[in-house]
Chains A and B, each alone.
Chain A
């Protein structure tokens, strides 16, 4: 067997780990996948430490030389399609041990898989708000009003993210915008169930993802990662409450309702 390029191996494994982590996979999945890749290529000394914002890897080559790589993950999102493909790629690497070039091509192919456009996402956010308002017991006119709020949330998030605003602030503004819209609408239509409409629209922002994955991380023994995600979910929840709270207080001051 020809001599292994360990620098290349560690970069590649970290790329796969990064792909999984940045798109919302659990920590244990990331660490296990990377470990398996190392084993597939005959390195049994891989030490991996991953938290949601960073991956640290060290492997020791058979010559006894340690190689380390640290990769920060600045932007995280949820793209389960990519997690799924990354997972499948990892399985393939373990069973077939393709050469590095093929793996690299596969990774970039996964990274370039199409995501839904802004227009489609706005419609989806609107629909989420629409159905959740009905779900929480609002009537049809509430749901229609909520639909517009959902769309506004996505638009606000999109443009604020474009300017790299921090997530805490983005959530405050988005939740404020939605709640303010509802309060204005309520001035014209007194029959509106304000609470149902706002809750429905805000379900788009609620940190359900963070709540589940923090629990799953803690179960798997990644306490550090779990704590980070827990803090994250608390921050998002607080931000949502602050944003909507400001809108409610303002409307009380202006219209006295």
Chain B
């Protein structure tokens, strides 16, 4: 059984971070909720045993959530996305890469570094996929109207 408490910590951590970026009120609350939801999806996909894939799926969940919320609140998507994706950012990866570099363990240094890059790539691909599809959908529906 996976322990889901980190979702709560992710949610709570996003609140002050969003506040630093001057998100306010309901937007702040729902953007932070996105952070929790993202990590929930990450943990949900634990059986995959492939954390890059997990990050990718979680990022898709976050992007979809952000697009929906942006439509509901009539606000730019960026705000929701920025706050919600924070727990996904590979801060740990950067740190461990640096630590291996300092110790002088070159093999692990390269390995962790590439893994971190992979995670960043997965995150980018996740947002890319969703926002491209949304744009496509927009263009198609607007053409129908004409």
A binds B: yes
> Using a CB–CB distance below 8 Å, which chain A residues touch chain B?
24-26, 29, 78-84, 87, 115-116, 120-121, 123-125, 127-128, 131-132, 134-137, 195, 198-199, 202-204, 206-209, 211-216, 219, 237, 240-242, 244-245, 248-249, 252
Q: Quick check: is B102 within 8 A (CB to CB) of the other chain?
A: yes
Q: State whether B24 touches A81 (Cβ < 8 A).
A: yes
Instruction: Please give me the residue from chain B that is nearest to A123 by CB atom.
Output: B16
Interface SS majority for chain A? helix
Smallest CB separation, A257 vs chain B (Å) = 12
Q: Quick check: is B95 within 8 A (CB to CB) of the other chain?
A: yes
Q: State whether B79 touches A203 (Cβ < 8 A).
A: no
The 10 closest A-B pairs by CB, nearest first: A131-B13, A241-B98, A135-B9, A208-B89, A124-B16, A81-B22, A127-B16, A215-B124, A80-B79, A206-B91
Instruction: Report the interface size for chain B: residues with CB under 8 A from the other chain.
Output: 44
Q: State whether A131 touches B76 (Cβ < 8 A).
A: no
Q: Pick 9 A–B contacts, CB within 8 A, sort by A.
A: A80-B79, A81-B24, A115-B22, A125-B20, A202-B95, A208-B82, A208-B85, A241-B94, A242-B98
Q: State whether B76 touches A84 (Cβ < 8 A).
A: yes
Which chain B residues lie closer than 8 Å to A244 at the CB level? 95, 98
Q: A25-B78, A127-B16 are in contact. List 8 more A-B contacts (CB 8 A).
A: A24-B21, A125-B16, A127-B15, A195-B99, A206-B91, A207-B89, A215-B127, A241-B97
